[in-house]
Amino acid sequence: MSAELLPPGWLQRTLAVMLWLSCGSALRLANQMACTARSPATYILVFTGQWNPTTFPKQYPMFRPPAQWSKLIAVSHSSRFHLWQEGSLASQGVQMFAERGVTAALIKETKEVKKIMRSVHGVYRAPGISNGIGHTSTELHMQPRSPRLSLMVKIIPSPDWFVGVDSLDLCDGGQWVQEVSLGLYPYDAGTDSGFTFSSPNYLTVPQENITQITSQNPNHPANSFYYPKLETLPPLARLTLTRQTGHSPGHKQFSNHILREAGSKRYSETPLDCEVSRWSSWGLCLEKCGRPGVRHRTRYILLQPANSGTACPDLEEGEICSSENCI
């Protein structure tokens, strides 16, 4: 149909209908996002560390200090607050927590937001875990106006690495979610440039955004989580949230405590290839006059293979040579 055949004013009417439709969609979206649950909800939060040397064999910290988890900090809040956010700069409190596991500044700045805005409802803590594998738990009280949950746990030892969630919405329209189970992956706070678990402090200047650490990012063999053969890293920890109703069985068995993994669980094996240094320079040519000589060079193992990874190559090789100064 050509424009000449359309009735007068068709363009205005079409635009008006489109505007009405888009406003209606925006309203429906806003309603979907608002939590209209009529009552608060109580959840048991269980954090399970799964950081073990079979799944994460590269540079796994065995001592001084061994692999472990800091205290857990969780905040319930509305959509107007972020404890931390991928792609944004870490606050000073997040920096101190990610680098040193110190909770005071992070709790202080969160409570200051709570005082002046209604965007934060509760701040919760759970004890640290003195092992890469283990549980810690706490109870959360969620309000319909603050249905989102953010949390952080520092990876110890590490430069500025942590696991956590940002703004997990526990309310779906008018209903509280009954159960959530999420794998947790490492993030870099962007404040310390260390590359390995036990790197010395090395301030990042200027500060960088918070980024997720993956099996291939940072793309450098020295990085402790660099596993180029893996498409994705296995989860380093798991978060489980279970809504409690009035007569939930086993409610009282949860509190802030640590349970060590019994050791019976089997973890996935991540193959780790051998890594060797560059070759040394060639040694002297050992030659008898009139006969060809031999010279050698060596290299050494940087990383022992594990879990059926590629074996180490020869560490020494020789070649025929000749020199003017024969013996």
Q: Which is nearer to Ca ion, 130 or 199 (CB)?
A: 199
Q: Which is nearer to Ca ion, 136 or 223 (CB)?
A: 223
99: contact with Ca ion by CB under 5 A: no
CA separation for the pair 298, 281 (Å, rounded): 8
Tell me if 170 sits within 8 A of 241, measured CB to CB. yes
Site for Ca ion in 30-89 (CB under 5 A): none
CA separation for the pair 285, 290 (Å, rounded): 13
CA separation for the pair 211, 282 (Å, rounded): 43
Q: Which is nearer to Ca ion, 165 or 189 (CB)?
A: 189
Q: Cβ-closest residue to Ca ion?
A: 188
Between helix 104-116 and helix 92-100 the angle, nearest 10°, is 150
Q: How far is the CB of 190 from Ca ion (least distance, A)?
A: 6
Q: Which is nearer to Ca ion, 136 or 224 (CB)?
A: 224
Secondary structure letter of residue 118 according to DSSP? S
Q: Which is nearer to Ca ion, 70 or 242 (CB)?
A: 70
Q: How far is the CB of 209 from Ca ion (least distance, A)?
A: 11
**Amino acid, single-letter form, for residue 241:** L
By CB under 5 A, name the one of 99, 160, 273, 287 that touches Ca ion.
160
Q: How far is the CB of 80 from Ca ion (least distance, A)?
A: 28
By CB under 5 A, name the one of 94, 147, 188, 237 that touches Ca ion.
188
Tell me if 128 sits within 8 A of 162, measured CB to CB. no
**For the chain, what is the radius of gyration of the CA atoms?**
28
Q: How far is the CB of 111 from Ca ion (least distance, A)?
A: 27
Q: Which is nearer to Ca ion, 216 or 307 (CB)?
A: 216
Q: Which is nearer to Ca ion, 31 or 92 (CB)?
A: 92
- The count of chain residues that interact with Ca ion, using the rule CB under 5 A, is 3
What strand order describes the sheet that includes 179-184? 179-184, 237-244, 41-50, 133-142, 258-260
**Binding window for Ca ion (CB under 5 A); candidates: 12-20, 128-136, 186-194, 225-233:** 186-194
CA 288 vs CA 253, 260, 292, 296, 297: distances in Å: 81, 66, 7, 16, 19
Q: Which residues pair with 68 in a beta bridge?
A: 156
Backbone torsions φ then ψ of 303, nearest 5 degrees: -145, 120
Q: Which is nearer to Ca ion, 201 or 277 (CB)?
A: 201
Q: How far is the CB of 208 from Ca ion (least distance, A)?
A: 7
**Binding window for Ca ion (CB under 5 A); candidates: 154-162, 215-223, 295-303, 319-327:** 154-162
Closest of 38, 33, 44, 245 to residue 143, by C-alpha: 38
Which residue do the tokens 């404040």 mark? 191
Taking the alpha carbons at both ends of the chain, their separation in whole angstroms is: 99
**Binding window for Ca ion (CB under 5 A); candidates: 30-38, 45-53, 168-176, 181-189:** 181-189
**Binding window for Ca ion (CB under 5 A); candidates: 70-78, 100-108, 152-160, 302-310:** 152-160
Q: How far is the CB of 213 from Ca ion (least distance, A)?
A: 9
Binding site for Ca ion (CB under 5 A): 160, 188, 192
